[in-house]
Amino acid sequence: MQPMHLFERLKGAASDEWHAYVAHPFVAGLIDGTLPKPCFQRYLVQDYLFLIHFARAFALAVYKSDTLADMADRAGALSRIVGNEMALHVEYCRGWGISREQIEATPEAQETMAYTRYVLERGMAGDVLDLEVALAPCTIGYGAIGRAARQDPRLKISGNPYMPWIEAYSSEDYLKVADSSVARLDRIWNARGGEARLPQLIKTFSEACRLETSFWQMGMSAATP
């Protein structure tokens, strides 16, 4: 019998937090197309600000990595974020009526600060395994959300303004990224793990899921008058 992936163990131990994150009303609104436009616009702006710190987390992962292969992998991810994804994000925001100037003039929401600084803190205080576990709800979770959305009977394809988002995170390219992150967790766990570490890793994963849920809720708050 194949051993269970570390990610599956973390997800199982934090099932309530995981479900609250991946089945949040924000996600449901993306799937059936009913999410109010201001909610998505607020999310888009904050997601750009999130990406800045996400890039810093990958830079930290390069420093914390043990092997040249892992360093190269994380350096490549950092390069894609800084050199490509952020520009694409700005272009995508423009399609939603949000200019670069508006994005850059927007302060970070408390929820954005809470999650990004938590990830960086776990990476700085711990090792690369702590950092990767803190990142997992984002790097792996978006792929899980994309996969599930494609199978969801509520999925509205025609006329759904959020289909490009769903397509991005259910694409073969992104799912490869998510699956490689699952495998990376296993490699690092095998090198640096041990059952004595599992309770703290579960705590980190649970907290990261809660912070992801708060990030969705931050977007939802734009619908409140």
Host H or E run for residue 60: helix 37-64
Q: Is 138 designated active site?
A: yes
Upper half-sphere CA count for residue 96 (Cβ side, 13 Å): 24
Report how far residue 165's alpha carbon sits from residue 175's, in angstroms, rounded to the nearest whole number.
Answer: 14
Q: How many helices (H) and strands (E) does the chain have?
A: 13, 0
Q: Is 132 designated active site?
A: no
Upper half-sphere CA count for residue 225 (Cβ side, 13 Å): 0
Both tokens of residue 14? 């934090």
Both tokens of residue 69? 């292969």
User: Residues 138, 167, 195, 207: which is the catalytic one?
Assistant: 138
Catalytically active residues are: 138, 212
